[in-house]
Structure 1
Amino acid sequence: MKISLLFGLAAGAALAVALRAPLATTVLGLIAFGVLHNVLELRYVAGRFAPVLGGRFLVVLLGLISAIVVCRLAAMFVGEPARYAEILVGYAVLAAGCAHALRGWRLGAAAVVLIVAAAASLDFPGYHFVVLAHLHNVVPLFFLWEWGGRLRHAAVFRWTQVAWVLGVPALILAGALDFVLGGVSPSTVAAFAGDPARIIAASAPPGSATIVGARFLMVFAFLQTMHYFVWVYFLPRHAPDAARAFEARLGMLRGWRAWALGGGLGAALAVLFVIDYASGRALYGAFASYHAYLEFPVLLALLSPSGAAGSQLVFRETASERQEPAAVST
């Protein structure tokens, strides 16, 4: 039960800081862990799901996501047209994932859903990007659910994840924790971040009332903090097999080198954040597209029996190399 307890303690700490200082938690957390968690998440996904991410499928995904990077950089200069372009390319990424993972009526149903969703996103782009921001913080639930299958008490671990990913945000949005809200005044965030309203707008639906916007911001701050906990601490520590599988594909980032790359790039970008937070946030958002968008086709691919089975191939290790799944405690 130790791992589940660890998540409970981490969630409690993350909730405390998110409720009392949501702006500071959002801004300073991004500066401290944003780039590093990008590198470590890509390492995990590329290693853990190596059989899924390969060949022409990987080439197509990298090409489409690179187009999204261009869209996000262009948005700094041309604004809305680039955002609409990103929406279209983003749905193309999902379509590629569906085409790779699904067949028959499932593929047809997915196509209908994507068309309807794309139309809604183009009609309401402000809502699209808010949903995307929160959805990215929810995605670790699926990776942790899949990883937890190796544990003796898998059900306890898995439902612990559901509790903090879905249960805690539901309580915040329902107003159950309003009595401990710390507020979102400019004094709660470093001055270099600029107008707090812009930060709140990135996590709250357009036109949200003050208290509703504050709740969405606190949900975002909480989930972002737990997001970093998962990718920077938990999975690197408890899923070393994924790192080894990645290093087998890209030996130049073996061991400490991945951490050095993430830390070095993060430190360099932190300077830009302090000098011009808006530009730093835009640049980070552009290159973070790779890890943010790559998650979705991987999850879609795992819906297929071949994708789910293929993801197991990277873990055919001997008991001497790691503890057997049945011996791991939740």
Structure 2
Amino acid sequence: MSTVALCAFVAAIGVALAPALQLPAATTVFGLACFGLLHNVTELRYVLGRFGGVLTGPLLTLLLTLCTGIVLCRTVPASELSRAAEICLAYGLLGLACRYGLRGPPVPLGGACAVLSLAAACSLANPAYHFVVLTHLHNLVPLLFLWEWSRQLARGRRLFRALQLFWVVVLPLLLLLGALDGLLAERSAETDRLSAAHSPPAWTDSPVALRFLTVFAFLQTMHYVVWVWFPPRCAPAATASFERRVPVLRGVRVWLLGLAGTVALAALFASDHATGKQLYAAVATYHAYLESRCC
């Protein structure tokens, strides 16, 4: 299994990197339209199956309540108030996760709360930077799940983990440092428009903005590869656990749900891209923040 997974990841890295370098805007937009909702469904299936013992009872209720608050913030017209409310709810969710995850001696919990308080203050003071950082951090989350999954490997664990670090850390750093600038596409009106949401505000008018967009396009594609391909084939126990918990979504039904959502989202993107992106951001709240609890 580890050999198959390694070969598949090597191939996926090459397939994801090529369009990200030459067509970063198209890769970002079409990737979201084609795999955004589908990966939400398959990721939630894995997370709820693998960590079903954690995501249950009052904790799950509180998490869903906070996530729903974030959804409401994302469905109303963007404003300073809605952004501040979303930031506060997000840090409240992280604080809740720390409260449940760091039971025992008070020092670790106190330290975590202090760090979260400082981070929240920075985010509220610089909301534009907060959302750019959040956008990129979300694409790095698969590393944590893959690292945890690899503990079961009797052989090849170090090589598997090294490969994950290569595509999650090394390649993005090389891109950001300009090592692959000779392979990047030329800037265009479309890349400049998308770069505004994926680059630190201070750099949106610099060549670095294109590097950030390219990094996002690459990591987003790999993010989809992980959640759409990896768990269904390499984590059958999580799938079985989810199906026992939610029997109505057994087998092919979960794929039909994801594909139906994909078709609907693609149609909305084609008719009104801005509305489609806003709707997706709201719907994706649940998978994005529930996975953060499990990390």
The two structures have a TM-score, normalised by structure 2, of: 0.96
Q: Distance in 2 between matches of 1:63 and 1:183?
A: 44
Q: Is the 8 A contact 1:22 1:184 kept in 2?
A: no
In the alignment, does 2:120 pair up with 1:124? no
Offset of residue 78 of structure 1: 4.8
Tell me the equivalent position of 1:8.
10
- The corresponding residue for 1:182 is 185
Equivalent in the alignment of 1:43:
45
Choose from 239, 251, 254 the match for 1:243: 239
Partner amino acid, structure 2, of 1:32: C
Q: d(CA) in 1 for partners of 2:186 and 2:47?
A: 36
Q: How does 1:187-206 map to 2 (within 5 A)?
A: 196-206=191-201
**Alpha-carbon distance, 1:207 to partner:** 2.5
Tell me, in whole angstroms, the C-alpha distance in 1 between the residues paired with 2:114 and 2:29.
38
Could you tell me whether the CA contact under 8 Å between 1:21 and 1:183 is conserved in 2?
A: no
Q: Is the 8 A contact 1:37 1:228 kept in 2?
A: yes
1: CA distance between counterparts of 2:168 and 2:111?
27
Aligned to 2:292: 296
After superposition, the C-alpha distances for 1:98-148 in whole angstroms (9 at most, x for unaligned) are 000113210000000000000000011011001101000000000000011
Q: Counterparts of 2:100 and 2:42 in 1: how far apart (Å)?
A: 25
Residue identity matched to 1:84: A
Match of 1:282 in 2: 278
Which residue of structure 2 aligns with residue 158 of structure 1? Answer: 161
2:202 pairs with 1:207: yes
How far apart are residue 81 of structure 1 and its match?
Answer: 1.3
Q: 1:146 aligns with which of 148, 161, 176?
A: 148
Structure 1's unaligned 5+ residue stretches are 187-194, 300-330
> What's the offset of the Cα at 1:79?
2.1
CA distance in 2, matches of 1:218, 1:238: 29
Contact 2:75 2:278 in 1 (8 A): yes
**Which residue is equivalent to 1:82?**
82
Q: Does 1:93 align with 2:89?
A: no
Task: Give the aligned partner of residue 67 of structure 1.
Answer: 69
Check conservation: 1:21, 1:184, Cα contact below 8 A.
no
Residue 225 of structure 1 is matched in structure 2 by 221
Deviations 1:156-181 (A, max 9, x none): 11111011000100000010000000
What percentage of residue pairs aligned between the two structures are identical? 52
Please give the alpha-carbon distance, in whole angstroms, between the structure 2 residues aligned to 1:262 and 1:184. Answer: 34
| Structure 2 contact 192–210 (Cα < 8 Å) conserved | no
Take 2:268 and 2:80, find their aligned partners in 1: how far apart are those partners? 24
Q: Secondary structure at the match of 2:276?
A: helix
The alignment of Structure 1 onto Structure 2 pairs a total of residues equal to 289
Moved more, 99-108 or 138-147: 99-108
Post-superposition offset of 1:265: 1.2
CA distance in 2, matches of 1:184, 1:272: 27
Q: Secondary structure at the match of 2:202?
A: coil
Task: Supply the distance in 1 between the matched residues of 2:69 and 2:80 (Cα, whole angstroms).
Answer: 16
Shift of residue 229 of structure 1?
0.4
Match of 1:169 in 2: 172
| Alpha-carbon RMSD | 1.1
